[in-house]
Chains A and B, each alone.
Chain A
Amino acid sequence: MMSEHHGHHVASAKQLWGIGIALLILTVLTVTVAGLGLPSPFDILMAMTIALTKAFLVAAFFMGLYWDTKFNSMLLIGALAFFILMVSITLLDTLYRDDVVPSF
């Protein structure tokens, strides 16, 4: 059953270096964009979009999810989903309090 041998994909050196360089460029990009001083929601959105792209590259190619069983990708996505759940439900409280934090 060769299909079970997902994990044994051997990435080529070229591929890996390509990803490494892409990550480097994205890092430079995010620093540059931050320097532009975009208006409020867009700066975070931009920074997070770039970070997510980088994360995608690392997960898909360095961690080999692209060649791996779907289930491992599901685990990663599931973890993120539960993290988002945790944050958004907590925000339902913290963003809508009458009295923010009991202040001293």
Chain B
Amino acid sequence: MANHSATHPKHVHHHFVDSNQQFESAKLGMWVFLVNEILFFGGLFCAYIVFRAWYPELFTQAALELNTFWGAVNTVVLIGSSLTVAMAIRSAQNNQKRGLEINLLITILLACVFLVIKYFEYEHKLHLGIAPGSFWNPTPEIAAVLDHPKANIFFGIYYMMTAVHGLHVIIGIVLMVWLYLRARKGHFNSEYYTPVEITGLYWHLVDLIWIFLFPLLYLIE
């Protein structure tokens, strides 16, 4: 289309006046989307709260099956990845192509570590028959400790929360890989780094959710 003036930089879409308007719009759009995300997880947290209020003893009992150590490690891993994402944005703002690439790579790596740990946790539980819903079939030793009649409900919630969160981590990894490929082609600089910024916002939210999941699921004594 016409009406592209010489002053219109290439990355600015035709319907924006300037680069700044585009950047601010993208960021606002992302924040509105994060509102969505919060209420999306909010449903799960609500279910959690309702059932915890009903059966406090169930939660104390069931949380013992979760491994606090690995939960804490994963918390640290995610916090680290949040830091590297923030550093990645900083690199882009300072025109440091190498720094951007490296920070994105570390983020991807940490996200994968998170998933691997999560995988082993799942694996371990499923092995003990602590499975969701109708697959609930705990080994006798487990059943002896976990004798609450609604124990399966706790794990139903646990699996839903962590799986939905894990899904967000996977989506985050895909986005980061995409950013990395674009960063290598030199698409980002101090004038234009909108995708890095808004993916960063998304990633921090994933971290935020985990910051609450960790104490709510793992730290009930």
A and B in direct contact, judged by CB atoms within 8 A: yes
A43 to B60, CA, bound (A): 12
Chain A residues lying within 8 Å of B23, measured Cβ to Cβ, are 7-8
Check: B219 CB closer than 8 A to any chain A CB: yes
CB contact under 8 A between A10 and B42, given known A31-B219, A58-B82:
no
The residue that B221 contacts in the complex, of A13, A37, A59, A87, with Cβ under 8 A, is A37
Chain B residues lying within 8 Å of A4, measured Cβ to Cβ, are 20, 24
How many residues from A make CB contacts under 8 Å with B? 52
Main secondary structure, interface of B, reads: helix
Scan residues 110-136 of chain B and give those whose CB is less than 8 A from a CB of chain A: none
Chain B interface residue bracket vs A: 35 or more
CB contact under 8 A between A63 and B201, given known A58-B82, A58-B211, A90-B50:
yes
CB contact under 8 A between A62 and B82, given known A11-B90, A83-B42:
yes
Cβ contacts B44-77/A at 8 Å (1 or 0 each): 0110011001101000000000001000100110
In contact, B24 and A83 (Cβ under 8 angstroms): no
Check: B207 CB closer than 8 A to any chain A CB: yes
Scan residues 53-89 of chain A and give those whose CB is less than 8 A from a CB of chain B: 54-55, 58-59, 61-63, 68-69, 71-72, 75-76, 78-80, 82-83, 86-87
- Give the 4 A-B residue pairs with the shortest CB-CB distance, closest first: A20-B83, A47-B215, A34-B219, A83-B42
Residues of A in contact with B (beta carbons under 8 Å apart): 4-8, 10-11, 13, 16-17, 19-20, 23-24, 27, 30-31, 34-35, 37, 40, 43, 47-48, 50-51, 54-55, 58-59, 61-63, 68-69, 71-72, 75-76, 78-80, 82-83, 86-87, 90-91, 94-95, 100-101
- Selected A-B contacts with CB under 8 Å, 14 pairs: A11-B90, A13-B87, A50-B215, A51-B214, A58-B211, A63-B200, A75-B32, A76-B31, A79-B38, A79-B39, A83-B38, A87-B46, A91-B50, A91-B53
Residues of B in contact with A (beta carbons under 8 Å apart): 20, 23-24, 27-28, 31-32, 34-35, 38-39, 42-43, 45-46, 49-50, 53-54, 56, 68, 72, 75-76, 79-80, 82-83, 85-87, 90, 93-94, 197, 200-201, 204, 207-208, 211-212, 214-216, 219-221
